[in-house]
Amino acid sequence: MQPVPRNRTATLPDAQRITPAADVPAWRDYLTLTKPEISFLVTISALAGFLLGSPDGVDGWRLVFTLIGTLLTSCGVSVLNHLFEADLDASMRRTMNRPLPAGRLSPQAARTFGFVLAGAGIGILCPLVNPLTAVLAIATGVLYLYVYTPLKRTTKYNTLVGTIPGALPALGGWTAATNSLGAGGWAIFGILLAWQMPHFLSLAWMYRKDYDRGGYRMLPVVEPDGHSTVRQTLGFTVLLLAISLTPAWLGLLSGVYAVGAALIGLAFLKPAIDFYRTRSVQDARRVLKASIWYVPALVLLIVVDRLLF
């Protein structure tokens, strides 16, 4: 991979340029590379899987090692994703001031940082949790970096493919607790898979012009009328509502969880319906906001159910 030029703002018209941030502390740039919001959601999805696979009580140390290993691996993969997409980030208004395209950090520093974090995560998961969970973490990184990331430039189906590495950490949480694949693990995997579609499609609709400028073949770019985007957003939100009830149907959680999951699913469905009707950026943003709080709310329901029943 070639070094990223220090200043790529010239790839945008003068009227759209953003002045690069000055005096940004190095630690903040390194933190930005780890995509902390996404890594947080990945980690708590692993927490959901672990709790779901622990009906008879939680192994505290194994849970700690699972969460730390998952977090470090996710952070490392996120750093490498920044590295792989630095050239395209430089051409997008939303991303051009990130540490790599802005030239505040070198590709070599990012590469080392990313591999150290991911290696540390795998190094924790394999001996201290179990090999199966480590294998799933490796598969997540490989699929995300070498399948999903390049597909973003070639096909509108990239988001659908990307749901697989996005949902594997939740399955990894289950395998960390049980050392096996099982119905409950696939249930939490399905929940996170369905959740990602409205999350990323709403984001892609909001920034479709930027994605087009960057050369990404996102669905709203390929089909700018938005019909497929809103239809899939609504369809996967409905699917999410249905799949979220399967842990109770499998007998892993109680009816209290089922009621709570139905309520937060319906709350998520409301902005998805509005987005389907209007195709507006405002309603897309409401879908995105609903998706961000949905996963923590679902994890909280699982925690409450485990504590009370």
Q: What is the pLDDT of residues 181-193, one digit of tens each?
A: 999 999 999 999 9
In this prediction, residues 52-81 reach a mean pLDDT of 95
pLDDT band at 91, cuts 50/70/90?
confident
Query: Is the predicted pLDDT of residue 140 greater than 70, yes or no?
Result: yes
Predicted pLDDT of residue 17: 39
CB 299 within 8 A of CB 44: yes
In percent, the amount of the chain with pLDDT more than 70 equals 92
Query: Is the predicted pLDDT of residue 106 greater than 70, yes or no?
Result: yes
Predicted pLDDT of residue 82: 94
pLDDT band at 57, cuts 50/70/90?
confident
Predicted pLDDT of residue 23: 65
The Cα–Cα gap between 98 and 106 comes to 12
Domain ranges of the chain: 26-308
The mean predicted confidence, pLDDT, of the chain is 90
Tell me the three state secondary structure of residue 254. Answer: coil
Confirm whether pTM is higher than 0.75: yes
CATH architecture of 26-308: Orthogonal Bundle (1.10)
Please provide residue 262's backbone torsions phi and psi, each rounded to the nearest 5 degrees. Answer: -65, -40
CB 39 within 8 A of CB 74: yes
The Cα–Cα gap between 268 and 198 comes to 10
State pLDDT tens for residues 4-38: 333 333 344 433 434 444 566 888 999 999 999 99
Predicted pLDDT of residue 309: 80
The Cα–Cα gap between 87 and 66 comes to 33
Query: Is the predicted pLDDT of residue 129 greater than 50, yes or no?
Result: yes
Query: Is the predicted pLDDT of residue 68 greater than 70, yes or no?
Result: yes
Predicted pLDDT of residue 95: 82
